[in-house]
Chains A and B, each alone.
Chain A
Amino acid sequence: MPERVILSVGTKKGLFVAEASRNRGGFDLRGPFGAGAPVDATLIDRRGAPRIYASSRNMFFGMKILVSTNLGRNFRETGSAPAFSKEDGRTLINVWALEAGAAEGELLSGVEPAALFRSRDGGDSWEMDSAISNHRHTPHWQPGGGGLCLHTIVRSENRVHLGISTGGHYLSEDGGETFDAFNQGIAAAFLPDPYPEFGQCVHKIAIHPDNPERLYIQNHGGFPEHPGIGVLRSDDRGRSWRSIAEGLPSDFGLPILVHPHDPDTVYVVPLEPMTRTCPGGAPAIWRSQEGGGSWNRLDRGLPERESYFTVLRDAIDFDRLASPALYFGTTTGQLWMGRDGGEDWNCLFHSLPPIHCLKAAVV
């Protein structure tokens, strides 16, 4: 079968799957799956036969994990969703992250309240990872605007980086056996001590496999008294961080991601801090090809005015073709594709439900 571009799109009203040929000339849309239930995490697992996973948060009846083994033509429920033990006392509110683990069939899930779960059987059973979920800092974490959630899981060889709102950046260098907070240089401007050991509202963490020493963070910025704290870079595997926000129209935003073929090329979506929408009503993706040294506005084809949407932390992704397209979904239900790494934009779908998350893959 020829390669296909697959988009897994989690929305407020269920999951959609869009599919196109490699030239991306037209996308067919399937769904909604898990109709009516918000989807805040999805994964296209390309290890072996491709599988699409998605969380499904039914407000009445709780969480499910959905899985498709036929590129989103249909989905079934896995054997279970992450859940705390009765003895633990916590109650699962939402699943915020689904990522492939190190071993075959292993999945990792970040949840609300902030905890990490691991499945070794493709999502049929889950166990809580106590190293971070019962960390000595856990009782002190506070909920951010999206709740107290573990939303980002970034693996690199034996290292695991976690993003927690509000807990900050945690790093394991032993494959997840132990975690420590590494937040030097990451500010929490909403606390009396703006540089605490932990408690930062990290929004997203990004890495490129070719340069695992380098990481990028979109942190909670937008504070006039602490300019530039929102977009940060580390060159020592996340042990310390410095601002790279100079030149951006706002250091507030939710997503950050790295070009699939170039670890020096990083993308953010600056938002006006109070409304969390496009500055001036004119949306743009901003790209640095110098690791944050300077930034360029990418807006060709995007609306020039009267557009006040939000791009949520996981609602943006690349396909991995030679000249990759960048895709983002909006809280107003538009799904945009930017060819050539975001140089030229067109809207694939205008009126989906609010888009919470998006993953792209070539399968």
Chain B
Amino acid sequence: MRLSAALCSYAGCPSELALAAATVGSALRQLEPSHPRLYRSICQESGAVRPHVNLFLNSDRIDELNGMDTRLQSGDILTVLPAVSGGTPCRNG
């Protein structure tokens, strides 16, 4: 798993993690006990990926593959990046 610098800074984790998992969902679930801050930064309470976070398997968005059920193979790189989604209005006016 490859993590953006912003996420590493926010969650206090290294930029790369080696995981053994059969699917994307399984890889994320492994993070919950081992790297709880990182898990909470990627996933909401429900387990869904946060709306402004994108996951890529190699160069493809997992949403365009099979989502959390996307199968992983040895050597795959799962990249976690914040979305380009700035400029949202302040909502507490």
Asked whether A89 lies within 8 Å of B46 as measured between CB atoms, the reply is yes
Asked whether A354 lies within 8 Å of B90 as measured between CB atoms, the reply is yes
Asked whether A61 lies within 8 Å of B7 as measured between CB atoms, the reply is yes
Chain B residues closer than 8 Å to A313, beta-carbon distance? 92
Which among B7, B46, B90 is the interface contact of A38 at CB below 8 angstroms? B90
CA distance A107 to B67 in the complex (A): 38
A151: shortest Cβ distance to chain B, in Å?
9
Interface string of B37-50 (1 = CB under 8 A from A): 10011101111101
Chain B residues closer than 8 Å to A86, beta-carbon distance? 45-47
- From residue 36 to 71 of chain A, which have CB atoms closer than 8 A to chain B? 38, 40, 58-62
- From residue 110 to 151 of chain A, which have CB atoms closer than 8 A to chain B? 145-147
Asked whether B85 lies within 8 Å of A59 as measured between CB atoms, the reply is yes
Which among A40, A84, A90, A91 is the interface contact of B92 at CB below 8 angstroms? A40
Asked whether A90 lies within 8 Å of B45 as measured between CB atoms, the reply is yes
CA distance A356 to B53 in the complex (A): 25
Chain B residues closer than 8 Å to A62, beta-carbon distance? 40-41, 44, 50
> Using a Cβ cutoff of 8 Å, how many contacts connect chains A and B?
68
B38: shortest Cβ distance to chain A, in Å?
9
- Interface membership of A83, Cβ < 8 A: yes
A356: shortest Cβ distance to chain B, in Å?
6
- Interface membership of A288, Cβ < 8 A: no
CA distance A62 to B10 in the complex (A): 10
Output the nearest chain B residue to A331 by Cβ-Cβ distance: B93
Q: How many residues of A contact B (CB 8 A)?
A: 30
Asked whether B45 lies within 8 Å of A60 as measured between CB atoms, the reply is no
Chain A residues closer than 8 Å to B53, beta-carbon distance? 60-61
- Interface membership of B34, Cβ < 8 A: no
Chain B residues closer than 8 Å to A38, beta-carbon distance? 90
Chain A residues closer than 8 Å to B91, beta-carbon distance? 145-147
- Interface membership of A17, Cβ < 8 A: no
CA distance A49 to B11 in the complex (A): 28
Output the nearest chain B residue to A36 by Cβ-Cβ distance: B6
- Interface membership of B82, Cβ < 8 A: yes
Chain A residues closer than 8 Å to B90, beta-carbon distance? 12, 38, 331, 354, 356
Interface string of B42-85 (1 = CB under 8 A from A): 10111110101100000000000000000000000000001101
Output the nearest chain B residue to A84 by Cβ-Cβ distance: B45
CA distance A247 to B45 in the complex (A): 48
CA distance A85 to B46 in the complex (A): 8
- Interface membership of A193, Cβ < 8 A: no
A selection of 7 A-B contacts at a CB cut-off of 8 Å is A58-B10, A60-B82, A61-B42, A61-B50, A61-B82, A62-B50, A77-B37
Identify 18 new A-B residue pairs, CB closer than 8 A, beyond the known A60-B7, A331-B93.
Answer: A59-B88, A60-B10, A60-B41, A60-B52, A60-B53, A61-B7, A61-B11, A61-B41, A61-B42, A83-B40, A83-B45, A86-B46, A91-B44, A91-B45, A96-B92, A145-B93, A146-B92, A312-B93
Task: Rank and list the top 6 A-B pairs by shortest CB-CB distance, nearest first.
Answer: A61-B41, A60-B82, A146-B92, A60-B52, A91-B44, A84-B45
